[in-house]
Amino acid sequence: MRTGPERSRAAARAVVAVGAVAGACARHGAGQWLSTPPRGWPVATTAVNLLGCLALGVLLEGLARCGPDTGRRRLVRLGAGTGLIGSFTTCSTLAVETDLLARDGRVALAVAYPLVSVVAGVVLCGLGVALAARLVRPGTPGGAGEGGT
């Protein structure tokens, strides 16, 4: 039989895995829906990475304002943040697409693409934090935050 800490680690692994499957499926769907035009800007990767930055800012700030990173809050952070958003966003595809742009001789796009992605990502994460700060009062009970393990 599993003890408290072992059960907690198993639950954490499970929520990360479930979140990762959902995020990967959403990422695949976004790639199918938002196709990149030939010789164009990598639209799908940009969209998912920027949406992920905004969502992560909202999630982490909202959870932090609800209380300590324990119990259900921790599981929500792991499942939604690490699992779902972590597998939805994709730095590896950003790197591969940047390399392909450079190899194809589109140097200006190969420089602009990662630069815009990173700068816009930081800005959107900050906007997500600001949004959560307006919507969630510190110590807000309920939702994903209440309860222990």
Instruction: Count Cβ atoms below 10 Å from residue 6 Cβ, excluding itself.
Output: 10
Q: Give domain status of residue 147, yes or no.
A: no
**pLDDT by residue (tens digit) across 96-148?**
999 999 999 999 999 999 999 999 999 999 999 999 999 998 876 654 444 44
**pLDDT by residue (tens digit) across 32-64?**
999 888 888 999 999 999 999 999 999 999 999
Q: Give domain status of residue 79, yes or no.
A: yes
Q: Give domain status of residue 142, yes or no.
A: no
Query: Are 59 and 77 spatial neighbours (Cβ–Cβ below 8 Å)?
Result: yes
Q: How far apart are CA 4 and CA 25, in angstroms?
A: 32
Enclosing domain of residue 9: 4-135
Q: Closest by alpha carbon to 64, among 85, 49, 87, 81? A: 81
Q: Give domain status of residue 143, yes or no.
A: no
Q: How far apart are CA 88 and CA 85, in angstroms?
A: 5
Q: How far apart are CA 92 and CA 115, in angstroms?
A: 15
Q: Give domain status of residue 144, yes or no.
A: no
- Domain count of the fold of the chain: 1
